[in-house]
Each structure stands twice: as structure tokens, then as C-alpha cells.
Amino acid sequence: MPSDQPDKRKRSNLPLDTFGDFQYRQALAEEMLAIIGSLYRENVHLMLYGKLLVNLSISEIMQAHRFVRETENNELSEFETYQVITSLSSLELGPSEVDIGIIAAAYLFDSKDLTIEEFVVDSVKDLVGKKGSVLEDAQDVVLYGFGRIGRLLARLIVEDSGGGDNLRLRAIVVRKSGQDDLIKRANLLRTDSVHGPFKGTVRVEEKEEQLVVNGSEIKIIYADQPDSIDYTKHGIKKALLIDNTGVWRDKKSLNRHLKSKGIDKVLLTAPAKGKVKNIVHGINNGVVDSKDNILGAASCTTNAIVPVLKVLNDEFGIISGHIETVHSYTNDQNLLDNFHKTSRRGRSAALNLVITETGAGEAVGQILPELEGRLTANAIRVPTPNVSLAIMKLILGKTLKASELNDFLRQIAFHSSYKDQIDFTNSSETVSSDFVGNRYAGIIDSAATICNKDHAILYVWYDNEFGYTVQLLGLAKEMVGLTYKRYPDYQ
């Protein structure tokens, strides 16, 4: 939306003092919660400029509105979005993702002489009266491995269960480590030192060897090899298996999962090798065909940088560049100095900055063939547990000012098909911990952007755990045909 957009809000009989205004908007946000949850269970996902509103608190909903006002420089408030939500609640909408922020902002800009109710109906007219689900039955999912990414996937799949006819986590496969294995794994799901407590319930049923998470029964299967399990014995059929161990990466080894009864497709949560396609969700999904039953999701860094590189190359052209990733330490490193097969990584992760290699530069060429051979990359591991930073030094095919580049990226983040992958901040006070739990593949730090003629330096933050897991979930849904149309579809 234009930055000089007029404020068309009609606020009759509203409090004039700031505290009264806040309380009024707080009450509206409180009323929104019930409607957001009700629509979610009917497979209608409400969003605010791409941010999913389900499971947010009242204050988080208000913060999301404030973020839009500050970043988009418009006058969007809970007063407008509440009217949009209440209008949507009576329309019996079909499965979809509806951005109430975009609808409300569009109405402020040009109401087309319609009432807000009429405008809302016009914005989602293809959905009205089509209440239902995307899949006939819930899609069975198996997690092979239960480490950092596996546990976040479990949280997100359960959180995204909706009306129960979406993805359904049926089993988790691990190696048994002791008598209290089940209890320990349940506790790791309940609590996390980085991402905080799980916002749900976890119950252990030791006799049945299963966890009950938010009412969903999840079987814990103990196995050492991927082709030694009969999942159908546990009622699992035509399942998508998500391998988050990183042990098996090529087609031959990953194909072992498909030899187990009950598994139809496999998704690897790491860069795949050989002939297995690596997909960055939202970017090169088009290369996937119906015959692809094994896919790789590339790395967290590749997922963070590729969307930004894609839009920059499409708009301005990228002649060459270097990407330096400042990456939080991972389980692969040592707490104290010890042997490691990779140079430098044997040194203490908690005490050192560690220069190491990354395959992100080469991976870009696999995802975006038009950029093959144009980028180099390196990495520095740093003593933080989560959130990383990609510093992209690029030579573009056009001379730009920093303000022009930031304006372009802001529009991409809010008003393009890449808004699920690219986030944007204009704060000059943000630090890495501010992005823990951020759901985007990468976040543009516009306050740090530097331009000198055709040379540009961009800083892209990313939660290398959570943001990557959200990308994985999006790809998993696409693999099983669980996709939602996004409304409104303004051209």
C-alpha cells in the first residue's frame, strides 16, 4: 500500500484517550480469538499480512497489528480487522488462507463504495458456501528421528491439526536408549531451552509405548534400520515419512524407508545427495512431479538465502557475490575441545568463533540454475544456540540506493508470492534473540542495508531451527496435496 495512504477509519463513539483506545482494541482482539479458533477448525486459516493468527495471545495479535502499522506506514488497527473477521465468520468458507490485513487495508484505500461486509464477500467470493476439507482423510505422518528439528516438527504438526483432517502425526521412530526413554522424550517435547515450553498437553502411556499430544495418539517405535518396520501393524497407511536424522541422504539409502509397509513418500530434512531433488519451499516447487516420492529440503541456510536471491536476480540481476553466514552452533560441534573430522569444528563451540565451510553457495545453483557459479560462500559458527545471519555481498545489474532496495524488499515481503518466505524489519535495535521462533525462511534487516552504486550488502536473519521447520512443513503439505489457496487474490 502507498505510504501516503489516507486514514479512512470511521471511529464514531470511540475513546479519545490513549488508554481507553488501547482497552477498546484489546477487547476487540479478545473477541477475535474465538472466531479465529472456530474458523481454524473449519480449515480457514486467518492471517495478518502473512502472519498466522491461530494460537496467538491477545497481546500477540495487538503486536502484529502494531508491526504492520509501523512497517507499512498505514492506519490498520483491530477496529478494521475485527469487522473483516466478523463478516467472514458467517460465510461458511471453503478451505483457505485469508489475509484479513490485506482485505482491511484494501478497503481503507478504496472501498469501491461498498460496505465493509460487501467488500469482504467480494474479496472471498470464490470461497463462500464451500465449507469442507482439502483431503478426504487425515494424512498419516511418521517422524524418523526426534532431535531438534524432529521435536519442532512434532509441535508444528500437532499445532496445525485444525479440524483433524490435515496432517496427523501417527508415529515417531527412535533408537531405545534406556528404561525411561519414553518419559525423557516426552519431557524434551514439553520443554525446550531455546523455544520455550510446548503450548499444549503431553501425556505418556508407557504400556502402549505412545505419547498423547493434544489428544493425538503418537506411537513410539523403536528400530535401528529404516527398512525393518511394518507400520501397518500400527494402523499407519500411505504415510509421509520425514527423516530428520540426516544419516541417509541419497536415493538408494532413503529408498529403504519405502520398503517398510505403510510408507508412500519420504522427505529428508537436510540437503539430499545424488539424484534426489532439493526443494526450497515456495521457490522451486515447480520441478517436483507426481513420480517424485523422495525429496530433500536443502539446508536452513539455503532456505534463508534463496528466496532473497531469487527476487533480487529477477528484478535487478546478480552478476556475482559472496555470502558469509554467521551461524549458531549445532549438535555437530563439541562443548569442549575434542576430535572432529572437520577442520576447526573440534574446538569448543561455546568459547570460539569457528570458521568453517558451507555448501550454501553451491546449493543456490542447484535451486536457481541461473545463478550457478556466480556465488561463493563461507561460514562462521558462533557461541549462540539459535538464530543465524547471512551477510550477502552482491554486485547487481543495476545501480541502487539503499532506500530503493529496501522499498523493493518491503513490497516483496508484504505483497508478493514470496511473503511466506521473506520477512522484513526496519528496526535499528534488533538483535539475534529477537528472531527466536520467527516463522519465515529469512528476515531482511533493512536498517543494515548498504548500497554503493551496483554493490549491495544485505543482512538476512533466520531462525535456523524454527524458520526452517516451517519451510519443511510447507513442503510436506505440498507433497501430500494439502495446499490452501490464499485470499484475497488482488492483482
List, by residue number, the catalytic residues: 300
- CA angle (346 as vertex; 465, 342 as ends), nearest 5: 80
Question: CB under 8 Å to 3, separation ≥6 — which residues?
Answer: 73
Residue 355, SS3 per DSSP: strand
* Residue 473 to residue 478: CA distance in whole angstroms: 9
**Residues ≥6 apart with Cβ < 8 Å to 431:** none
b/e per residue, 212-249, with b = 16+ CB within 10 A?
ebeebbbbbbeeeebeebebeebebeebbbbbbbeebb
C-alpha cell at 185: 522424550
Distances (CA, A) of 477 to 123, 255, 461, 480: 25, 20, 25, 5
Give every strand in the sheet of 277-278, ordered side by side.
Answer: 202-205, 210-213, 216-222, 167-174, 139-144, 239-243, 263-268, 294-296, 277-278
- Other CB atoms within a 10 A radius of the CB of residue 404 amount to 13
